[in-house]
């Protein structure tokens, strides 16, 4: 046995379990406002952080030390002070922006919450349906994606499809399939008030939250708690979007075929999927590891729960493009959009 290889693996295991614990500590940091309480404040003592956050000093102390150990905070030993560097605050205490990374921490507790059931599904098949995930899972998806939809969808991503935005500005129609809490239809309606914007999702709780968000924002997209094939509105759409949804679907081909029939003649299907390579050997990196985890404990299991295709989140561009062809689409272009996490396809009938 190669002892160096074994020691390296032991280090790997410690690093990974430490990563899990760092995630849990960082989750507390975003949920309780600890990062926000430290942002822009420079060096702080334990008592300063406890006072600024209004939290229990003993817990705060343990959290501060753990976050120093994990590299999230700087520590000045002589003064015994803790600092959240501005560069870290930019990513960790910036909820609602397109650079906030804390939503990823929030994804881990609900996914680990179903891990025993998923492990059981490894033995018996089936899986955990979307509705069985804790509400915290919807909240986490929201935290991860909302900033992008509010700040990038219209101002950056859709700039690649000027003919579509022109039609929406002139009163065209947009459909977001698997809209979750509805931030895509909301962003579209805000940017294109004359457009008719519809969001569908079979998850009733998500649609109830989407309607509440629309009311709070004073916007009027339409939300329906149905799958796209059950949507009674049969008029064609200029834009149909599937944002982080295609790989979750139990019947992705049927849905793609059905959506093709709903596209206006010059309409575009915009599909946003995780950025992973086709080749496993090119996916040996933290981003892909995260996606394989999200996939196993969320995307894959909810599809298999319905006896579905079980595509998983790490489909890769070649298999994704093959789905579009199999569903009868004439063309599918990978858009030139810079994103560390996503690939963007413009698909035409």
Ligand X SMILES: C[S@@+](CC[C@H](N)C(=O)[O-])C[C@H]1O[C@@H](n2cnc3c(N)ncnc32)[C@H](O)[C@@H]1O
Kindly list the residues in this chain that would bind ligand X in the complex (CB under 6 A): 130, 141, 145, 177-180, 201-203, 206, 227-228, 243-245, 248-249
Secondary structure class of 224 (helix, strand, coil): strand
Q: Which is nearer to ligand X, 28 or 245 (CB)?
A: 245
Q: How far apart are CA 250 and CA 309, in angstroms?
A: 5
Helical (H) or strand (E) element with 207: helix 204-217
> What is the closest distance, in whole angstroms, from the C-beta atom of residue 91 to ligand X in the complex?
19
Q: What is the C-alpha R_g of the chain?
A: 22
* φ and ψ at residue 32, rounded to 5 degrees: -90, -10
Q: How far apart are CA 115 and CA 209, in angstroms?
A: 26
> What is the closest distance, in whole angstroms, from the C-beta atom of residue 299 to ligand X in the complex?
7
Show the tokens assigned to 121.
Answer: 């599904």
> What is the closest distance, in whole angstroms, from the C-beta atom of residue 311 to ligand X in the complex?
12
Q: Which is nearer to ligand X, 202 or 293 (CB)?
A: 202
> What is the closest distance, in whole angstroms, from the C-beta atom of residue 152 to ligand X in the complex?
12
Phi and psi based region of residue 40 (left: phi greater than 0; alpha: psi -120 to 50; beta: remaining) = left
Q: Which is nearer to ligand X, 99 or 204 (CB)?
A: 204
Q: Which is nearer to ligand X, 197 or 249 (CB)?
A: 249
> What is the closest distance, in whole angstroms, from the C-beta atom of residue 99 to ligand X in the complex?
17
> What is the closest distance, in whole angstroms, from the C-beta atom of residue 315 to ligand X in the complex?
14
Residue 76: C-alpha distances to residues 22, 37, 42, 50, 71 (Å): 20, 18, 11, 18, 13
Show the tokens assigned to 215.
Answer: 């009311």
Strands (E), the chain: 74-76, 81-83, 173-177, 196-200, 222-224, 237-243, 263-274, 331-334, 342-348
Residue 99: C-alpha distances to residues 72, 131, 137 (Å): 16, 29, 20
Residue tagged 């390579």 (tokens): 277
Among candidate residues 87, 93, 117, 116, the one with its CA nearest the CA of residue 105: 93
Q: Which is nearer to ligand X, 180 or 312 (CB)?
A: 180
Q: Which is nearer to ligand X, 37 or 141 (CB)?
A: 141
Q: Which is nearer to ligand X, 49 or 313 (CB)?
A: 313
> What is the closest distance, in whole angstroms, from the C-beta atom of residue 72 to ligand X in the complex?
26
Residue tagged 């949507």 (tokens): 231
> What is the closest distance, in whole angstroms, from the C-beta atom of residue 309 to ligand X in the complex?
11
Q: Which is nearer to ligand X, 167 or 181 (CB)?
A: 181
Among candidate residues 22, 111, 55, the one with its CA nearest the CA of residue 291: 111
């Amino acid at each position: 046995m190669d002892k160096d290889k074994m020691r390296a693996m032991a280090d790997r295991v410690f690093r990974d379990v430490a990563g899990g614990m760092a995630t849990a500590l960082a989750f507390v940091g975003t949920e309780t406002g600890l990062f926000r309480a430290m942002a822009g404040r420079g060096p702080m003592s334990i008592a300063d952080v406890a006072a600024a956050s209004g939290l229990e000093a003993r817990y705060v102390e343990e959290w501060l030390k753990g976050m120093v150990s994990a590299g999230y905070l700087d520590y000045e030993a002589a003064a015994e002070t803790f600092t959240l560097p501005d560069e870290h605050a930019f990513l960790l205490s910036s909820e609602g922006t397109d650079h906030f990374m804390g939503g990823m921490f929030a994804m881990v507790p609900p996914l680990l919450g179903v891990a025993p059931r998923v492990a059981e599904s490894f033995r018996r098949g089936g899986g955990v349906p979307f509705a069985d995930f804790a509400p915290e899972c919807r909240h986490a998806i929201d935290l991860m994606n909302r900033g992008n939809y509010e700040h990038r969808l219209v101002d950056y991503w859709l700039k690649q499809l000027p003919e579509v935005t022109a039609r929406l500005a002139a009163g065209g129609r947009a459909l977001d399939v698997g809209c979750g809490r509805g931030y895509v239809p909301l962003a579209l309606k805000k940017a294109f008030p004359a457009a008719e914007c519809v969001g569908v999702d079979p998850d009733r709780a998500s649609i109830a939250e989407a309607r509440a968000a629309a009311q709070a924002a004073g916007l009027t997209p339409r939300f329906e708690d149905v799958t796209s094939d059950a949507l009674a509105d049969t008029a064609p759409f200029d834009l149909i979007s599937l944002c982080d949804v295609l790989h979750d679907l139990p019947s992705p081909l049927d849905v793609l075929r059905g959506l093709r029939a709903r596209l206006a003649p010059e309409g575009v299907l915009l599909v946003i999927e995780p950025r992973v390579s086709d080749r496993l050997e090119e996916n040996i990196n933290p981003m892909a590891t995260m996606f394989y985890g999200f996939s196993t404990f969320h995307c894959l299991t909810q599809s298999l729960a319905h006896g579905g295709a079980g595509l998983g989140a790490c489909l890769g561009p070649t298999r994704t493009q093959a789905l579009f062809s199999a569903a009868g689409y004439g063309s599918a272009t990978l858009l030139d959009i810079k994103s560390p996490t996503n690939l963007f396809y413009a698909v035409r009938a």
